[in-house]
Amino acid sequence: MGMTMTQKILAAHAGLEKVEAGQLIEADLDLVLGNDITSPVAIKEMEKMNTKGVFDKDKIALVPDHFVPNKDIKSAEHCKCVREFAYRNEITNYFEVGEMGIEHALLPEKGLTVAGDVIIGADSHTCTYGALGAFSTGVGSTDMAAGMATGKAWFKVPSAIKFNLTGKPSKWVSGKDVILHIIGMIGVDGALYKSMEFVGDGIANLSMDDRFTIANMAIEAGGKNGIFPVDEKAVAYMKEHSKKTYTVYEADTDAQYDAEYTIDLSKLRPTVAFPHLPENTKTVDEITEPVAIDQVVIGSCTNGRLDDMRIAAEVLKGRRVAKGMRCIILPATQAIYLQAMEEGLLKTFIEAGAVVSTPTCGPCLGGYMGILAAGERCVSTTNRNFVGRMGHVESEVYLASPAVAAASAVTGRISSPEELD
């Protein structure tokens, strides 16, 4: 019996010819990631190990991005802890204010993640890098500590689900709509500890930013990881951003999958996840009653990339944010921020009545830069809409694409861009 793409990567990093679902392995790591929330815990755990230092200063990435610039004394202390650890261990890939970004947008941009890598991060959305054909997954801070010290991690080899994507999405349908459709279809535990492997001729019609979005939210279906085949677009992206050697793995023709789904991208519609789970989805056509909103957030590790900025600007250009509406836009990295400025996108946002923030995860987890009060509703391009996720437990979060979020900012209610034509 053959192996899936994920299983082949794990076998290679465990020094084994073959692995099977459910098998426990110890694998070599190509990158260990931490942020300002999870790293301090890992650093304290690593200190207990009495190790001499990190296993490889070039294979650790530390990115303070959740509460930066620091919002209070506690967050400043967290960042100071990470900063001092990075300096003490001469960590090559330490990125803070001025050169930082949201970790899962920044690392691919910096060329630190490539096909065939095994990557762990003390953040659940580390699965993002599967868009490039890497095995990447989130772990706890203790596992991060062990990874930084030894360069290894234990895994239970996941079984897999195959998603065959066909067709071409229509104008206002993006990667966010694809993954929301999938989560709505299989549920938030539909891929629990499984590898979500995306295949099919429809992938050629998805941009790299679309793929990053889809892989990013694999965890919202319970997935251990999400992964895409390495095609011309992925190779071009890696050649543009990275000098690292990459390795292409392909699933065997007789690889075993727990389930298979075929999704015709041409039939998808803009999709919104209603409170309080990402699986609670409706297409814009299924929303029969107006849903008034108070705030829109466009950004995050899910949808803060350049394509997202361009789509939002296309919707907002020549239009105004509804009176009383708070529209907050967060480019995911400094490079994206600069490119958006050079293309005039920031001017479009500001003229429309939106505000543009420095790169930060702040509003996504209810940290800062967009906290909701009781009874308020927000359309957000982030990845989770749990109770109290972005503020008060009596607030509501509706997950959507940048196109839907921008259109909703204009109308003051959940809307499709098609309504503005």
Look up the domain containing 187 and give its range. 5-264
Cα dist from 71 to 83, 368, 373, 403, whole Å: 16, 7, 18, 29
The residues pairing with 398 across neighbouring beta strands, listed in sequence order, are 379
The answer to whether residues 248 and 302 belong to one domain is no
| SS3 per-residue string spanning 66-117 | CCCCCCCHHHHHHHHHHHHHHHHCCCCEECCCCCCECHHHHHHHCCCCCCCC
The answer to whether residues 63 and 192 belong to one domain is yes
The answer to whether residues 134 and 160 belong to one domain is yes
**Is residue 343 within 8 Å of residue 376, measured between CB atoms?**
no
CATH number at residue 67: 3.30.499.10
Determine how β-strand 259-264 pairs with β-strand 396-399: unpaired
For the beta carbon of residue 20, count every other beta carbon within 10 angstroms: 12
Determine how β-strand 159-166 pairs with β-strand 259-264: parallel
3-state secondary structure of 202: helix
The answer to whether residues 258 and 319 belong to one domain is no
Burial of residue 324, with CB atoms counted within 10 A of its CB: 0-12 exposed, 13-18 middle, 19 or more buried: exposed
Residue finishing a domain among 264, 284, 316:
264
Cα dist from 402 to 64, 102, 135, whole Å: 25, 17, 27
3-state secondary structure of 60: strand
The answer to whether residues 160 and 300 belong to one domain is no
- Which residue blocks in 172-320 are alpha helix, DSSP H? 175-186, 208-216, 232-241, 300-303, 306-316
Determine how β-strand 152-156 pairs with β-strand 159-166: unpaired
**Is residue 414 within 8 Å of residue 407, measured between CB atoms?**
no
Count of domains for the chain: 2
Query: Which residues make Cβ contacts (< 8 Å) with residue 122, sequence separation at least 6?
Result: 33, 34, 35, 38, 39, 41, 42, 138, 139, 140, 141, 143, 144
- Which residue blocks in 250-328 are alpha helix, DSSP H? 300-303, 306-316
Residue finishing a domain among 264, 284, 318:
264
* Residue 421, pLDDT score: 79
- Cα distance between the two ends of the chain: 53
The answer to whether residues 12 and 65 belong to one domain is yes
* Residue 420, pLDDT score: 84
* Residue 49, pLDDT score: 87
Residue finishing a domain among 264, 295, 324:
264
The answer to whether residues 57 and 200 belong to one domain is yes
The answer to whether residues 109 and 247 belong to one domain is yes
The answer to whether residues 195 and 64 belong to one domain is yes
- String of b and e for 381-413 (b: at least 16 CB within 10 Å)? bbbbbeeebbbeeebbbbbbbbbbbbbbbbbbb
Cα dist from 240 to 107, 130, 228, 306, 355, whole Å: 13, 18, 18, 15, 31
Cα dist from 72 to 234, 335, 390, whole Å: 39, 26, 18
Peptide bond into 78 cis (omega under 30): no
Q: pLDDT in tens for each of the 421 residues of the chain? A: 899 999 999 999 999 999 999 999 999 999 999 999 999 999 999 988 888 889 999 999 999 999 989 999 999 999 999 999 999 999 999 999 888 899 999 999 999 999 999 999 999 999 999 999 999 999 999 999 999 999 999 999 999 999 999 999 999 999 999 999 999 999 999 999 999 999 999 999 999 999 999 999 999 999 999 999 999 999 999 999 999 999 999 999 999 999 999 999 999 999 999 999 999 999 999 999 999 999 999 999 999 999 999 999 999 999 999 999 999 999 999 999 999 999 999 999 999 999 999 999 888 888 889 999 999 999 999 999 998 999 999 999 999 999 999 999 999 999 999 988 7
- The CA distance from 68 to 29, in Å, is 28
Maximum Cα interatomic distance, the chain, rounded to a whole number of Å? 63
The answer to whether residues 130 and 275 belong to one domain is no
3-state secondary structure of 284: helix
The answer to whether residues 251 and 308 belong to one domain is no
**Is residue 377 within 8 Å of residue 293, measured between CB atoms?**
yes
The residues pairing with 372 across neighbouring beta strands, listed in sequence order, are 391
The answer to whether residues 167 and 196 belong to one domain is yes
